[in-house]
Structure 1
Amino acid sequence: MGKADQTIIEPVQNVDIEQTRVEMSKGIKSIYSKLEWLFIEKGLALFVIGFLLGRALILSHLTPFALPFFAAVYLVRREKSPIALMGLLAGAVTLSFSSISYTFATAIIFLLAFRLTQKFHQNDMKIVSFYVLFSVAFVKLGFDYVQQGQVLTLYNGVMALIEAFLAFLLTYIFIQSVPFVTVQRRRRSLKTEEVVSLIILLASIMTGTIGWAFQGLSVEHILSRYLVLLFSFVAGATVGSTVGVVTGLVFSLASVASFQQMSLLAFAGLLGGLMKEGKKFGAAIGLLIATLLMGMYGDNSMVLTTTLYESGVAIVLLFLTPQSLVKRIAKHIPGTTEYHQEQQGYMRKVRDVTASRVTQFSSVFQALSNSFQQVEEKMKMEEVEDKEFDYFLSNVTEKTCQTCFKKDQCWARNFDKTYNMMKEVMTEYDQGRVPLSSRLSREVEKHCTREKKLKETIYQELTFYQANLKLKKQVQESRKLVADQLLGVSEVMGNFAKEIQRERENHYLQEEQILASIGEFGIEIDHIEIYNLEQGNVDIDMVIPYSGGHGEGEKLIAPMLSDILGENIVVQKEDCSQFPNGQCHVTFQSAKKFVVDTGVSHAAKGGGLVSGDSYSMIELGRGKYAVAISDGMGNGERAHYESNETLRLLKKILESGIEEQVAIKSINSILSLRTNDEIFSTLDLAMIDLQNASSRFLKIGSTPSFIKRNDQIMKIEASNLPMGMLQQDFDVDVVSEQLKAGDLLIMMSDGAFEGPKHVENYDVWMKRKIKELQTDDPQEVADLLMEEVIRSSSGMIDDDMTIVVSTIKHNIPKWSSIPIQKSRQKKQIS
C-alpha cells in the first residue's frame, strides 16, 4: 500500500475512533440514567439500604438504625416508605426472628403514635425524633419484659435508653442524608454538617456487612477503606481523615474487634488526601503506606498479608470507579475544584440571566425612545402650524362666510386671495396691531360684505388658535424630552449589563509575583485578591496584619505596587480591627492622573445668613469631577431652596450615570412642571475628567467662567435661558476645553460678576483682576476676588455672591514608589 493510500485511511480511522467514543459515551450515559431511574425513582436503593441497616448492630445486639431510617424516609418520601420497611424487615430476618418482630413492632408503634397525634403538631421535622425515641424505648422494654419472664433489670433499662437515644440522634442525621438517595434532582451545594451526615449514613450502611467475607477477606474492611480512599482522593486530607474517623468510630461501636480499624482508616484518609495530587495512584500509595505502618506497628491481631490484600481490593475498586462518578461526588463537597466550578457556573448563569433581563429592559426603553422620536419627526412644527391655521379658518368661515351670499365668489373663484387676506389679518392681530393697518382695512372692506363681523370673529378665534398652538408645541417638546430621558436610561442600563457580564479574571501568577516581591521586604500578607489589572483601573484587595495604625499599606505596600505595576497606586479603603493581633482589609486602586483642589467664597445679600446661591463639588465614578453653581431667582430662603434643589437633583441624576445634557433637560422639565410660580434658577456646571483633564462646561443662564493659565486668561461662556422656564425648545450648549496642570478655573454667580459699580465692561475688569493675582491657592484666589468685588461696590453687597475656584494638579502620591529590583528583572506584571 502506498503513502497516498495511508493518508486516506488514517483520517477515516480517526473518524471511526471518534464516532466509537461518542457512541460509548452515549451508551454509558444511557446506562447511568437507567440505573438512576431504577435505584432512585423506583426505590431500589431504599430497599438495599434498608436491608443493610436492618441487620446492622451496635454493641453486638442493639439495632438503633432501623426505625430512624424508616422515619426519615416516611417524612421525605412517604410513598416509598413501604419499600424501605420491606428492606429493613428483610435485613432483620437474617439476624433472628425476634429482630424482625422488634423492627416491625417499632415501625407500627411509631406510625400509630405519629398519625394519631399529627394534628397537634405543625413541624413534623422537629418532633419526629421524639416519637422515634419513645417508640424504641417502649418496644425495647416490652420485648425485654416478655423475653425475661416479666422481669426487668437495671441493665435492661440502661440499654433501652442507650438504644433510644442513639435512634434519636440518628433520626436527625438520616433526615439530612436520606434525600441524597431519594430525590433525583437535588441542590448542588452541601453544607459541612450534611456531608458528615452522609458519611455517617454510609458508614452505618456498611455495618450491615459485618461478618461477610470473600476468600478470607473482610467485606466491611474493603468497603470502608474504599470509602475513605474515594473521599480522600475527591476532597483531600481534611475530608478524608474525617471520613476515616467517623467510619472507624461507627465500626468500632458495631464491633469491638473493629476498633483497631479506626486508626488505619483515619491515617489512610490523611495520607491519601495529602497525596491526591498524584491522582488515584497517589491516593493508593497513601493507603498502602498506612496499611503497612499500622500492620507492622499496630495490634498483633492484624495479619499483615490479609490487611494488605484488603487494601489492594479497595485500591482496585478505586481504579474501577468512573471519573464521571468522581466528578459528580466532588461537585457536592465544599472546597473541591469541581465544587467551585459548579458554584462559578451557577453564578455565571445567574449573572447572564440578570444581564439578559437588564439588556431586555434597555431595549424596551430604547424602543420607547425611538417611538417618541418617530412621532416627533412625523409632527413637524410647520405642519402643526399649518394644520392649526386650517382649523382656525374653518371656525372663522363657519361663523361668518357660511351664510353669506358671496360665499361661492370668495372661496370658489377667489380662494387664494381670500385665504391670504384672512391670514394677513390674523398675522397683524397676532402682532398686536389693533386696529388693522389702513391698507389691509381697505382691502377687507372692499373684498368682504361682512367685514366688521369678520374682524371680530378673527380676533376672538385668535386667542384659541394661540392657546392650541402653544399646547401642541409644549406636547411636542415634552415628547422630545421623554425620548431623551428614555434614551439616557437605556444607555445606563446597557452599560450596567456590560459591567455585569465582565468576569473576574484569574490572576494567580500575578498574585504570586506580588506576594514574593513584597515578601522580600519582610511584609507579611495574609491574603491577596486581584480583581483588575487594567491600566488606570487597578483594583486589588489585601489582608495584612494590624500594625498599630502606622499606615503600612499607604507608606510601604502602595509604593511597592506602584513600582511593580508601573503606575501610581493608592489606598482607596482601609478597614482595621481595633484589637491586637487583628487584621486590616485594604483596597488598593489606581490613582487618578489629576486632582482638583477647590476654594469657595460666598456672601448673602446685605450680609444676611441665607444666600440664594448654592454650590456643590461632586466626585462621580468613572474618574469624573463636577463643580456646579446654581443661582435661584431673587434672594432669601425661596431662592436658596430652588438653587439647592437644582443641585440636589443634578447630583442624583449624574451619579446614576445619565449624560449631563439629558440630566439638565430632565431637571429643567421637573422645575418647570413643579410650580406655577415664576421661580427660575441658573446653573453653571463644569465636568472635569481626572484622567486627561478634559472639561465640558454647561451654562444655563449663568455668567462666564474664566481659566487662568500663567498670564493667559480665557473666558468660557454660552447663551442659555435659566432653568425652569417653559420653553418650546430647551437646548443645552456644551463648551469643551482642555485643561492643564496648574490651571485655575474660576466660576461665579451673577452677583459677583456684575457686582462692581461704575464698571462699563465686566469682562475686562474681571480679567484684569484675575491677571493681577499673585497666588495660585484656590481659597486665597476666591477670597481676594470677593474682596475686590465688595470694595468696588463701596462695601455694599447688593446681591448674593458666590465664587468657586478650582485648580488642576498632577496627582503625585504622598509616598514615593519603592523600587523592587527583582521584579524589574522579571517579566513585568500586566
Structure 2
Amino acid sequence: MPLKARLGECAIAFLLTATLTGAEFLEGHAFFALALVAVWGPGWEGVCALLGASLGYLCFLGFVGGLRYIAASMMVYAVALAMGEFRLYRKSWFMPLMAALLNGAVGFVYQSPIGWDRATAASYLAELALTAVVVYCYRQAMTVRTQSHSGPWTPAQTAGVLVLGGTVMMTLARVMLGGVVSLGRVLCVLAVMTAAWKGGVGVGAAAGVVAGVAMDAAQGTLPYGTLLFALPGLLAGACWERGRLVCALVYVLTGGVSLVWMEPGDNLQAVGLEIVLGAVLFLLQPEALVNRLGAVLRREEGEDMGQLGRELAAQQLRRTATAFRAVTGGLREAFTPVVPNDQDTSRVFDRAAEEVCVRCRQRERCWQQEYQATRTALSDAMTPMLERGEGIREDFPLHFAGRCTQFDAFLGAANRELRSLLARRRYDSRVRESRAAVCAQYGQLAQVLDRAAGRLDQHPPVDARRQRLMAQRMKALGIRGKCSVTQDPNGHVHIQLEGPEVERLVQGGELEKLSTLLGCPLRQDTAAPRGQVVLVQQEPLVAVAGLAAADRKGQSVSGDCGAWFKDEAGRLNFLLCDGMGSGPAAREDSNCALGLLEKFLRAGLEVEAALATVGEALALRGEDQGGFTTVDLFQLDLFSGRSAVYKLGAAPTYFRKPGGVERVVGRSMPAGVAPGMKADSFPQQLGAGDWVVLVSDGVVSPREDGWLRRLLADYEGTSPQELAARILQESGQREGEEDDRTVMVIRLDVRPREEG
C-alpha cells in the first residue's frame, strides 16, 4: 500500500476509534471503541486505533473509568498481534469471541470488589454478548472499504454499516448545536431518509430502527426514538419511486405525527426542529453521492443470478488482465539483455589487425613499440568512419597511413568489420522495438480487459419516473411485457421493451406520443435483438456525408480507404487511411489499419488506446517491407456537437464555421513507422450548418491549399457529395494524378422531426 494511503488508513483508525469512545450503552457500557480495536488488526492501523481508544477513554470516562477499557483494548490488540499470522485469526468468530472474553475478564476484575447483584450480572452478560456482536458487525462494515467491485452490499455488510453508523451517532448525539439541537439526531434523520429513498422499505425501516435504538441507548430513555425514526423510515421507503421531495415530505409529516406519542417534557420543539434540519440536508446533498449509495443498497428483484454472473465474469476478466500484466513484466525482464552484444567499436580494428597485421613484419613496431600512437590514430579515424558508414584513407593520420605497408588490406578488413557492427546495431534496435511493441500489445490488452470488467460492474441508473410513465402507458394500451428505462453515462434515455405486443408502441404515431409523454425525442434502434423493441433518445443533430475518390494514374487499385460508422457510445466516426505508395500493397496496408481501428472503436476502446494498438500492430506487420499508413479519424457527438480530429501522419482537415474556414495540421508520423507513436488530437465544437472536409495527401499540398479554402468558403450548395466531387476535380487540375486521392465531406444540420 502506498505511504499516503497507509497514513490515511491510520488517521481514519485513530479518529474513528477515538470518536466511538464517547458512545455509551445505557450509561457506563462504553465497549464500542474496544470492539473497533479488535477489527483493525495487528498492523499500524491497529496501533493507531489503540492510541485513539486510549486517548478517547481518558477524555470521556476519566482515568478510573477509562482504565478498564484501555486495559481490555491493549489485551485485544496483543491477541491480534500474537495470532495475526495464524489461520485461526482469520476465522469470522475468533476476534469477536476473544474481544468478549477479554472485556469480560477485565470487567470481572473491576466489578468483583464492588459486588454483584442480579441487575449487575445481567448487564455484565449483556455487555459481553453485545461486544461479540458489535465486533462481527464492525468487521462486516470494514469489508465495504476493500471489496473489489461497486455492486450492491450483502445483507451482512448493510447491517454492519448501519451498526457502525449508529454507534458513531451515539457519540455525536452528545454534541449540541446552540444548546438545543443534537448533531447526532440531525444526522440520523439525514441517514434514515437517504437510506429509505435509495434502499426502499426494508432498508429504510432497518436504518430507522438502528438509529432509534442508538439514540435511545445513548440517552437511556424509553424507546421513543425507535418510533420516531423507524416509522418515518418505513413510510418514506414506500415512496422511493416518487422522488426526493415527496420522500422528504412523507418523512417530515410522519415524524411530526410520531411526536404525539412522546412525553410533553421531551422538548418536542427541539425534536421537530431536528427533523426539519435533517430533511433540508437531505434535499441539499449532492446527487452523485446519493446515486452511489443507491447502487450499493438496492438489489433489483429477479436479478440476483444475473448479477452473480456479471460479478464472476468481471472477476475472471480482472484475473486475466492481471495475468497479461504479469506476462508483460516477465517479457520486459526477459528481454533486458544480461550480456551486452558485441558492439564495441574498438573491436573493429582489433579484428582487422588479427586478419591483416598478423602476417606483417612491422606488427611489433605498430602494436608494441608504438602502441599508444597506433591506438590514438585509430581512435581519431573511428569518428568519421561511424558518421559515413565506411572508412577512407583521409580518415587516418598521414604518419599512420604512410607507414602501414598493407594499409589498403587493413582498411578493407576494417570496413567489413564496421559494416557488421552497424548491421548488428540495426538488428538489435529492430529487435528492441519489436519486443517493446509486443509488451505494449499485452499491456493494451490488459487495459481492455480491465475496462470490460469495469463495465460489467457498472449498473446503468434506472430512470424511475420515466419507467413508471412507460408502465402506465403500456397498461392503458393493454400491452403486456417488460419495460426497462435507464440512462447511459451521458444521461441519454435508453428504453428496452420485451413482450408479444410491444411492437405496437412504435406503430401508428405511438412513438411520437411516447416522446411527448417522456419529455425527450425517441427513435427505434433497428439493431435490437429479435423479440425486443429498443428505443433510444434521438440526437438533435444529423450528419450527411459525401465521398469522392480517384486512383493514381495508371493504377486500377487505390491505396486509400474510407468508412464511417457509429460506435457503442453513440458517436459518429469518420475514418480515412492512406497506405504508403499506391496499388494493391498500399490498399492492403490501409485496409488493415482501417479494419483494426473500426473493430477497436466499435468494441468501446478509447481512441488513444485504439490508435496506439493499431500503430504497434502495423509496426510489427511492416518489419520486413517497412510499410506504413496515415490515419485520419474524425469523431462527432450528435447530441452536443463536441468533436475531435485524430491524426497519424495524415493530411490537413478543414472546418467551415460561421467565423470562416479553419485548418488543422498534425505533426505525428504515420502509423507503422515506429512503435509507440502518439496521435495528434484537435478538439472542436460544431453546430448545425458547419462543414468538415477530410482529404488524403494526394489531394492538396499543405503549403498551397488556398484554392481549397476558397472553394469550401464560397460553396453555397447543401450536398456534401457535390462538394467532394468539385474538390476532387479541382485537385486533379492543380496537383495532377500522381497519387491516389480521396475526399470526404461532412455537413451538420438540425435533425428534422419527421425522421424520428
Normalised by the size of structure 2, how large is the TM-score?
0.53
Residues 329-478 of structure 1 correspond to what in structure 2 (within 5 A)?
344-371=303-330, 387-389=343-345, 392=348, 395-396=351-352, 398-399=354-355, 404-406=363-365, 409=368, 413=372, 417-418=376-377, 420-424=379-383, 426-427=385-386, 429-430=388-389, 435-437=392-394, 440-442=396-398, 444-445=400-401, 451-478=407-434
Q: 1:575 deviation in Å?
A: 6.9
Distance in 1 (CA, whole Å) between partners of 2:606 and 2:403 is 58
Q: Deviations over 1:373-407 (max 9, x none)?
A: 6678x779xx9899443554554454456783246
Report if the CA contact (8 A) 2:650-2:696 is conserved: yes
Distance in 1 (CA, whole Å) between partners of 2:515 and 2:460 is 22
Q: 1:489 deviation in Å?
A: 1.0
Q: 1:469 deviation in Å?
A: 0.6
The one-letter code matched in structure 2 to 1:713 is: V
Q: Deviations over 1:288-322 (max 9, x none)?
A: xxxxxxxxxxxxxxxxxxxxxxxxxxxxxxxxxxx
Structure 1 position 807 matched with structure 2 position 747: yes
Q: Are residues 401 and 557 of structure 1, via their aligned partners in 2, closer, same or farther at CA, if it must alter by over 3 Å? A: farther
Distance in 1 (CA, whole Å) between partners of 2:131 and 2:383 is 87
Q: Are residues 594 and 458 of structure 1, via their aligned partners in 2, closer, same or farther at CA, if it must alter by over 3 Å? A: farther
Report if the CA contact (8 A) 2:481-2:502 is conserved: no
Structure 1 position 732 matched with structure 2 position 678: yes
Q: Are residues 576 and 448 of structure 1, via their aligned partners in 2, closer, same or farther at CA, if it must alter by over 3 Å? A: closer
Structure 1 position 555 matched with structure 2 position 512: yes
Distance in 2 (CA, whole Å) between partners of 1:551 and 1:665 is 48
What residue is the counterpart of 2:487 in the other structure?
Answer: 533
Distance in 2 (CA, whole Å) between partners of 1:715 and 1:506 is 43
What residue is the counterpart of 1:492 in the other structure?
Answer: 448
Report if the CA contact (8 A) 1:558-1:588 is conserved: no
What residue is the counterpart of 1:768 in the other structure?
Answer: 710
Q: Secondary structure at the match of 2:534?
A: strand
- Counterpart of 1:697 (choices 619, 622, 645) is 645
Report if the CA contact (8 A) 2:343-2:425 is conserved: no
- Counterpart of 2:697 (choices 739, 750, 770) is 750
Report if the CA contact (8 A) 1:372-1:480 is conserved: no
Q: 1:747 deviation in Å?
A: 0.9
Aligned residues: 471
Q: Secondary structure at the match of 2:666?
A: coil
Distance in 1 (CA, whole Å) between partners of 2:26 and 2:605 is 66
Q: Secondary structure at the match of 2:418?
A: helix
Report if the CA contact (8 A) 1:790-1:797 is conserved: yes
Distance in 2 (CA, whole Å) between partners of 1:15 and 1:768 is 92
Q: 1:492 deviation in Å?
A: 0.8
Q: Are residues 735 and 343 of structure 1, via their aligned partners in 2, closer, same or farther at CA, if it must alter by over 3 Å? A: closer
Q: 1:802 deviation in Å?
A: 1.4
Give the RMSD, CA atoms, in angstroms: 4.4
Distance in 1 (CA, whole Å) between partners of 2:351 and 2:302 is 73
Report if the CA contact (8 A) 2:692-2:745 is conserved: yes
Q: Deviations over 1:500-533 (max 9, x none)?
A: 12246676676334434x479x544433432633
Q: Secondary structure at the match of 1:424?
A: helix
Q: Deviations over 1:723-755 (max 9, x none)?
A: 555x4x56234132323113311111233225x
Distance in 2 (CA, whole Å) between partners of 1:789 and 1:492 is 41
Q: Secondary structure at the match of 2:27?
A: helix
Q: Are residues 716 and 574 of structure 1, via their aligned partners in 2, closer, same or farther at CA, if it must alter by over 3 Å? A: closer
- Counterpart of 2:603 (choices 649, 652, 656) is 656
Report if the CA contact (8 A) 2:557-2:584 is conserved: yes
Residues 148-547 of structure 1 correspond to what in structure 2 (within 5 A)?
344-371=303-330, 387-389=343-345, 392=348, 395-396=351-352, 398-399=354-355, 404-406=363-365, 409=368, 413=372, 417-418=376-377, 420-424=379-383, 426-427=385-386, 429-430=388-389, 435-437=392-394, 440-442=396-398, 444-445=400-401, 451-503=407-459, 511-516=467-472, 518=473, 522-530=476-484, 532-534=486-488, 535-543=490-498, 544-547=501-504
What residue is the counterpart of 1:247 in the other structure?
Answer: none
What residue is the counterpart of 2:726 in the other structure?
Answer: 784
What residue is the counterpart of 2:535 in the other structure?
Answer: 588
The structure that has the greater radius of gyration is 1
What residue is the counterpart of 1:8 in the other structure?
Answer: 28
The one-letter code matched in structure 2 to 1:474 is: R
Distance in 1 (CA, whole Å) between partners of 2:341 and 2:639 is 49
What residue is the counterpart of 2:568 in the other structure?
Answer: 621
Distance in 2 (CA, whole Å) between partners of 1:553 and 1:407 is 101
What residue is the counterpart of 1:227 in the other structure?
Answer: none
Q: 1:772 deviation in Å?
A: 1.8
Q: 1:785 deviation in Å?
A: 1.7
What residue is the counterpart of 2:524 in the other structure?
Answer: 571
Q: Are residues 663 and 449 of structure 1, via their aligned partners in 2, closer, same or farther at CA, if it must alter by over 3 Å? A: farther
Distance in 1 (CA, whole Å) between partners of 2:382 and 2:662 is 50
Q: Are residues 482 and 349 of structure 1, via their aligned partners in 2, closer, same or farther at CA, if it must alter by over 3 Å? A: same
Q: 1:592 deviation in Å?
A: 4.5
Report if the CA contact (8 A) 2:616-2:676 is conserved: no
The one-letter code matched in structure 1 to 2:647 is: K
Q: Secondary structure at the match of 2:345?
A: helix
Q: Are residues 689 and 436 of structure 1, via their aligned partners in 2, closer, same or farther at CA, if it must alter by over 3 Å? A: farther
What residue is the counterpart of 1:131 in the other structure?
Answer: none
Q: Are residues 416 and 482 of structure 1, via their aligned partners in 2, closer, same or farther at CA, if it must alter by over 3 Å? A: same
Q: Are residues 697 and 469 of structure 1, via their aligned partners in 2, closer, same or farther at CA, if it must alter by over 3 Å? A: farther
Alignment gaps of 5+ in structure 2: 1-23, 32-119, 134-298
The one-letter code matched in structure 2 to 1:435 is: I
Distance in 1 (CA, whole Å) between partners of 2:307 and 2:639 is 32
Residues 45-60 of structure 1 correspond to what in structure 2 (within 5 A)?
none
Distance in 1 (CA, whole Å) between partners of 2:132 and 2:626 is 81
Normalised by the size of structure 1, how large is the TM-score?
0.49
Q: 1:701 deviation in Å?
A: 3.9
Q: 1:474 deviation in Å?
A: 0.6
Q: Secondary structure at the match of 1:367?
A: helix
Distance in 1 (CA, whole Å) between partners of 2:643 and 2:337 is 36
Q: 1:496 deviation in Å?
A: 0.7
Q: Secondary structure at the match of 2:28?
A: helix
| Farther off after superposition, 618-627 or 383-392 | 383-392
Q: Secondary structure at the match of 1:803?
A: strand
What residue is the counterpart of 1:687 in the other structure?
Answer: 635
Structure 1 position 604 matched with structure 2 position 546: no
Q: Secondary structure at the match of 1:589?
A: strand
Q: Are residues 362 and 515 of structure 1, via their aligned partners in 2, closer, same or farther at CA, if it must alter by over 3 Å? A: same
Q: Secondary structure at the match of 1:750?
A: coil
Q: Deviations over 1:159-188 (max 9, x none)?
A: xxxxxxxxxxxxxxxxxxxxxxxxxxxxxx
Report if the CA contact (8 A) 2:377-2:397 is conserved: no
Q: 1:782 deviation in Å?
A: 1.2
Q: 1:790 deviation in Å?
A: 4.1
Q: Are residues 420 and 637 of structure 1, via their aligned partners in 2, closer, same or farther at CA, if it must alter by over 3 Å? A: closer
Distance in 2 (CA, whole Å) between partners of 1:427 and 1:491 is 42
Report if the CA contact (8 A) 1:553-1:586 is conserved: no
Distance in 1 (CA, whole Å) between partners of 2:474 and 2:355 is 96
Structure 1 position 706 matched with structure 2 position 654: yes
Q: 1:787 deviation in Å?
A: 3.3
Report if the CA contact (8 A) 2:549-2:742 is conserved: yes
The one-letter code matched in structure 1 to 2:662 is: M
Distance in 2 (CA, whole Å) between partners of 1:740 and 1:472 is 48
